[in-house]
Structure 1
Amino acid sequence: MNYLGARLRELRESRGLLLRQVAAAMEVDTALVSKLERGERKANRDQVNRLSSILKVPEKELLLLWLADKIADDISHEPLAMEAMRYVEQRLKETSND
């Protein structure tokens, strides 16, 4: 999946930023930012944090998409994916009530 990459491109373009400007602010090469946007590379948590600052969006917004990509990539081809997601959701609700 590429929820994060699509949002990164949308945010960058809406702010009138070039790939090279975002890359310079992150202190990485332009190719990396391009690959993140296209979903050819996965960002790490630190990169997501830096991108939220550069693009001036709440960190939570990008972290949510980052986690969604990780989960979807891991389970999207599993026949029981949705059932497993419901199971995990229920368990998380139970543990947050403790």
Structure 2
Amino acid sequence: MTLGHKIRDLREQAGLKQRELAYQLGIGEGFLSKVENDQKPLKREDLTKLNELFKTPIEELESLWLANKVYSIVRDEETALSALKVAEEQITYNTLKNGK
């Protein structure tokens, strides 16, 4: 699931129209449409607003937001999957090394 799909699902479950959610987020309805279709990224601070509106764990929203950022960087790379595996190993190593 992408962040855009998650936002659309949350909005529809809450019975909100795009214009209503866009207003609450302080963005345009057209921009929200592009966010929901994974054509535009949200700002990280908008995740807090979504968390407050929909009572969705901020960690889930942040993970999806970050995944979208990573995907936008590697999507056209031939070695994307192997690079992501190396990055995962680096994160695991640094987490263990730093005791987190």
Alignment-derived partner of residue 96 in structure 1: 95
Structure 1 ranges of 4+ moved more than 6 A: none
Per the normalisation by structure 1, the TM-score is 0.88
8 Å contact kept, 1:6–1:38: yes
RMSD value, Cα: 1.5
Figure out how many residues of one structure are paired with residues of the other and give that number. 97
Structure 1: distance between partners of 2:18 and 2:46: 15
Unaligned runs of 5+ in 2: none
Structure 2: distance between partners of 1:28 and 1:84: 34
8 Å contact kept, 1:4–1:69: yes
Aligned positions of 1:1-98 closer than 5 A:
3-98=2-97
Residues 21-45 of structure 1, C-alpha deviations (whole Å, 9 max, x = no match)? 2122112222222221112211110
Identity of aligned residues (%): 29
Unaligned runs of 5+ in 1: none
8 Å contact kept, 1:22–1:54: no
Q: Compute the displacement of 1:9 (Å).
A: 0.4
Residues 30-83 of structure 1, C-alpha deviations (whole Å, 9 max, x = no match)? 222222111221111011221222222111111111111111111122111111
Per the normalisation by structure 2, the TM-score is 0.86
